[in-house]
Amino acid sequence: MFDPSGNDPISPAMQDLLKLFGQDLAAVKFPDVDRGVLEEAAARVKQKAEEVARAQAALEAARQSLYEGQEALLQKGQRALAYARIFAEEDAELSAKLDGISLPRPVRKAPRVEGVPVQEPQAVPGEDAAPRRRGRPPKARASAPLFAEGASPEAIAAVEAESANGVLHTA
């Protein structure tokens, strides 16, 4: 069978045969096969290919809807789990049951490749289970050179060894 990944579901060889029956063999009729029979069969194949394309588009829309529903459920589940953990702070048995539940982090947006959402791997329980730090990240400090110009690690070590109280002198 011909792979319908291209625009035309009819193979090039079959197109050549249809062209031949449309021109050089147009007046020739074989039992059960002639130009009209071949053209009618080709038209049915094209119609079926259009039906497949519509079905694939519907399937893609259904998959996207399912993905969005799963993401919404995951977000609600995470919120419910957080509330339940607060509620169960005084109940050790319930807290233990809730601690056994590890939901993956939601994916912000699924990257799309050729119309198909790419599923990112789900988090493995226990892997990266620590909660994220809250608040503003610390400011980045300008890094100073490790050794001043002309000072080698050996020279600094020698100065440090000579120091009576172990305070490092600047070179």
Instruction: For residues 24 and 58, state if they share a domain.
Output: yes
Residue 138 lies in a domain: no
Residue 114 lies in a domain: yes
Residue 91 lies in a domain: yes
Q: Based on the structure, what is the number of domains in the chain?
A: 2
Choose among 57, 58, 45, 43: nearest CA to 4.
45
pLDDT, tens digit only, all 171 positions of the chain: 555 466 789 999 999 999 999 888 888 888 889 889 999 999 999 999 999 999 999 999 999 999 999 999 999 999 999 999 999 999 999 999 999 999 988 776 655 555 555 555 455 445 455 667 777 877 776 655 555 565 666 766 666 666 555 555 555
Residue 135 lies in a domain: no
pLDDT of residue 8: 85
> 100 and 81 in contact (C-beta within 8 Å)?
no
Residue 35 lies in a domain: yes
Instruction: For residues 165 and 91, state if they share a domain.
Output: no
At how many degrees (to 10) do helices 12-22 and 35-87 cross?
150
Instruction: For residues 70 and 48, state if they share a domain.
Output: yes
Residues 156, 14: Cα–Cα separation, whole Å: 84
Residue 58 lies in a domain: yes
Instruction: For residues 26 and 63, state if they share a domain.
Output: yes
In terms of Cβ atoms closer than 10 Å to its own Cβ (0-12, 13-18, 19+), residue 148 is exposed
Instruction: For residues 168 and 120, state if they share a domain.
Output: no
Instruction: For residues 118 and 167, state if they share a domain.
Output: no
First to last CA, the chain: 81
Query: Model pTM?
Result: 0.48
Instruction: For residues 28 and 106, state if they share a domain.
Output: yes
| Full domain range(s) for residue 159 | 143-171
Residues 99, 112: Cα–Cα separation, whole Å: 34
pLDDT of residue 136: 81
Residue 1 lies in a domain: no
Residues with Cβ within 8 Å of residue 78, at least 6 apart in sequence: 103, 106
Instruction: For residues 147 and 119, state if they share a domain.
Output: no
Residue 148 lies in a domain: yes
Instruction: For residues 109 and 148, state if they share a domain.
Output: no
pLDDT of residue 27: 86
Residue identified by tokens 């198909």 is 116
Instruction: For residues 100 and 169, state if they share a domain.
Output: no
Instruction: For residues 95 and 58, state if they share a domain.
Output: yes
